[in-house]
Amino acid sequence: MSVIKTQGVEKVYNPNKIPVHALNGVDLEIKAGEFTAIVGPSGSGKTTLLNIIGGLDHPTQGQIEVGGVDITRLSDNKLIDFRKNKIGFVFQAYNLIPVLTARENVEFVMLLQNRSKAEREARTEELMKAVGLEGKMDKRPSELSGGQQQRVAVARALAPKPSFILADEPTANLDSTSTTQLLDIMARLNREEHITFVFSTHDQRVIDRARRVITLVDGKIESDEIRPEA
């Protein structure tokens, strides 16, 4: 089953000034259960593509189907619902809310979804355990290391039970121990909970763990390599 399908996706920034062609016709299909890396030089369009797939940005041209729904046709309200319920995002800069504790950061999305307190608490505890941070529930982001903050961000992304997670350079600010820990968690969630992961990266250690590697150059897919199971 395909989770994500894009056809002829183009993105032009600043069309009326000095246009920047960030994506130049991307046709891509991601199937359920993939663990896929998007790689390519700086400026090749990785972040733009992830943002468009996740409904954070609109394409200039083309179609994006997520779970069979053409998200380019959704109204703004429907798009907000889609983002809230269907996708988990993990960004390079963590994007945790500094005044909230780790627990509150993870619970926050579920508050927006109007989940009950009991359900929120149970799910938060389960997720914090899954990312190995059950002892850090009540710390604020500033009291956590970069790797720990990134793991909170993964727990937060998982809170709404998304069918897939988009991660933009999730290990960019991590040392090698934290990178390995985060990748182990992602791989386990992929294997055991069948969550689809699509992540951009420049990091060879991350690329080595991917089972499919899509290379973007100048906003186009230059190669698409599927690897045998390790």
**What CA–CA distances, in Å, run from 175 to 31, 39, 146, 167, 203?**
30, 20, 8, 17, 11
In the list 42, 77, 116, 204, the residue contacting ligand ATP (rule: CB under 6 A) is 42
- Which phi-psi region, left, alpha or beta, contains residue 67 (left: φ > 0; alpha: ψ -120 to 50)? left
In the list 6, 24, 36, 47, the residue contacting ligand ATP (rule: CB under 6 A) is 47
The stretch near ligand ATP (CB under 6 A) out of 42-50, 114-122, 146-154, 175-183 is 42-50
In the list 33, 43, 67, 132, the residue contacting ligand ATP (rule: CB under 6 A) is 43
In the list 13, 79, 213, 220, the residue contacting ligand ATP (rule: CB under 6 A) is 13
Decide if residue 123 touches ligand ATP (CB under 6 A). no
In the list 5, 46, 83, 156, the residue contacting ligand ATP (rule: CB under 6 A) is 46
Within its chain, how far is the Cα of 101 from the centroid?
A: 22
CA angle (228 as vertex; 225, 230 as ends), nearest 5? 125
Query: Three-class SS of residue 22?
Result: strand
**Binding positions for ligand ATP, rule: CB under 6 A:** 13-14, 20, 22, 40, 42-48
